[in-house]
Amino acid sequence: MHTTMSRRRALAAGAVSVALLVSACAGDGSAPEDSPGAGDASGAFPVTIQHRYGATTIESEPKRVVTVGLTEQDALLALGIVPVATTRWLGDDPGAVGAWARDELGEAQPPEVLDDTGGVQFEKVAAQRPDLIVGIYSSLTKEDYEKLSQIAPTIAPPEGYPDFGVPWQEVTKTVGKAVGRAGEADRLVGDVERRLAEARRAHPEFAGATALVATVFDGYWVYGSDDPRTRTLTALGFRLPEEVDKAIGDQFGANISRERVDLLDTDAIVWLLADGDAKLREDAAYQNLRVVEEGRQVFIDDGSDYGKAVSFVSVLSLPYVLDRLVPQLAAAVDGDPGTEVGAP
C-alpha cells in the first residue's frame, strides 16, 4: 500500500485541552537550542500568509519551526533553516530528511520526528516550543488548525488545491515568505524551473506525449493532474490523458478498476512499486497493452531513495529525480522495445 493513501488525517482521539497545549508550549527551558538560520531576516516581518482557513500573521523571524506537513522540511533546509521537528512520511530517514537533502542538513542535529498516523501529535508539537508551525502539504482539518494555532502561528494548506495537491513552487515560496526569505525562495524555485525547461528543450519528443504515474493498490492507483508527481511529468512536456483525469475527479489520485486497464495505455508510464512488476505480469489485459509491448514502462522501487524522491516533489528532490528520470523517460517514450529503459 502506498503511504500517501493513509494520509487523510482523522481528528486525534481524546482532544487535547487548550490549557495543556499552552502549558506544554511554555516549556521548562530544557528544550534544544534554537535552530540555526541563514542570515538575518528580521526586516521582512510582520508577514501575513493566506490559506484555506483564513490568514496567519507572523510577527517576527521564526527560530523554532515545526513541520506538520509532509515535505516542507526540504524548503526550509534549502533556505538554510533546520526545523526542530518534522513529520514522518516515507521511510525512516533520520529527521525525516531524505538522501537528496542531507547536504543541506550538513552536520546539524536531525530534527525530532513526529508520527501523524493517528492524527496530529499536538502535545509533541507543543513540547517543541515552536514559534511557527507549517502544514502546507497536508490534510489539516479546521479543528487541527485551530488547536495548532493556540500553540504557535500555523500555516494551513492554501485554497484551490486538494489535500496533498499543492505545487512544490507554492510550498517553497510560502515557506520562504513565512521565514523572511522570500527572495531566496524565488531564486531557488527559478533554478529548478530552469532545470525543467532545459530537460524539455533537450527532449522535444516529450511535448504532448501522454504519460502518467501509477502504483498497484486495490487494482491500479493513478495520480491525477493535481498531484505533484503528475506535475513533474507535465512540467517536462507530457500530458495526462483527459479520460484519466476525468476518472480521477478532483482528488490527487484514485483507483482505476482492472476493467479500465485501457486507461493505462499511454506513451509512457511511471510505476512506483514495492515488489517489482510481479502483480502487473499477472494481469493479462495489462500485458497486452501497447505501453507494455513497446517497452514504454519505467519501474521505480518506491522504497528506494529515488522512489521516495519521486513522491516527495520538492525544491531539493526534483534535481535529484531529474538526473535519473529524464533518461529513463527518453528511453521509454521512443516506443522501441529494444531500447533498454534500465535502472537510474
Percent of residues, the chain, with pLDDT higher than 90:
74
Q: Which of 233, 266, 267, 240 is closest to 254 using CA atoms? A: 240
Where helices occur in the chain by DSSP H, the ranges are 18-26, 72-78, 102-105, 122-127, 142-149, 168-178, 182-202, 228-235, 242-248, 278-281, 284-287, 290-293, 305-312, 317-333
Judged against a pLDDT cut of 90, whether residue 212 lies above it is answered with yes
pLDDT tens digits, one per residue of 161-172: 989 989 999 999
Query: What's the alpha-carbon Rg for the chain, to the nearest Å?
Result: 21
Q: What is the pLDDT of residue 218?
A: 79
Q: Rounded to whole angstroms, how far apart are CA atoms 327 and 114?
A: 36
> Residue 158 in 3-state DSSP?
coil
| CA–CA distance, 57 with 44 (Å, rounded to integer) | 12
Mean pLDDT for the chain overall: 88
Peptide bond into 158 cis (omega under 30): no
- Rounded Cα distance, 314 and 227, in Å: 12
Q: What angle do CA 89, 161, 191 make, to 5 degrees?
A: 70
Mean pLDDT of 54-62: 97
CB 237 within 8 A of CB 203: yes
Rounded to whole angstroms, how far apart are CA atoms 193 and 172? 12
Q: Classify residue 344 by burial, with Cβ atoms within 10 Å: 0-12, 13-18, 19+.
A: middle
Q: What is the rounded average pLDDT of the residues 212-229?
A: 92
| Domains observed in the chain | 3-191 (3.40.50.1980), 204-333 (3.40.50.1980)
DSSP H helix total and E strand total for the chain: 14, 12
For 269-295, what is the mean pLDDT?
93
pLDDT of residue 12 exceeding 80, the answer is no
Say yes or no to pLDDT of 71 above 80: yes
Q: Residue 273 pairs with which residues in a beta bridge?
A: 301
Cell readout for 59 is 510577527
Confidence class of residue 258 from pLDDT cuts 50, 70 and 90?
Answer: confident
Question: 201 or 274: which carries more pLDDT confidence?
Answer: 201
Entry pTM:
0.87
Per-residue pLDDT tens for 137-148?
999 999 999 999
Q: Which residue has the higher pLDDT, 95 or 340?
A: 95
Q: Label residue 245 by pLDDT band (50, 70, 90).
A: confident
Sheet holding 112-114, edge to edge: 112-114, 85-87, 65-67, 132-134, 154-155
Of 15-29, 74-88, 164-178, 243-257, the one with minimum mean pLDDT is 15-29
Q: In this structure, are residues 221 and 243 in contact, taking their beta carbons and an 8 Å threshold?
A: no
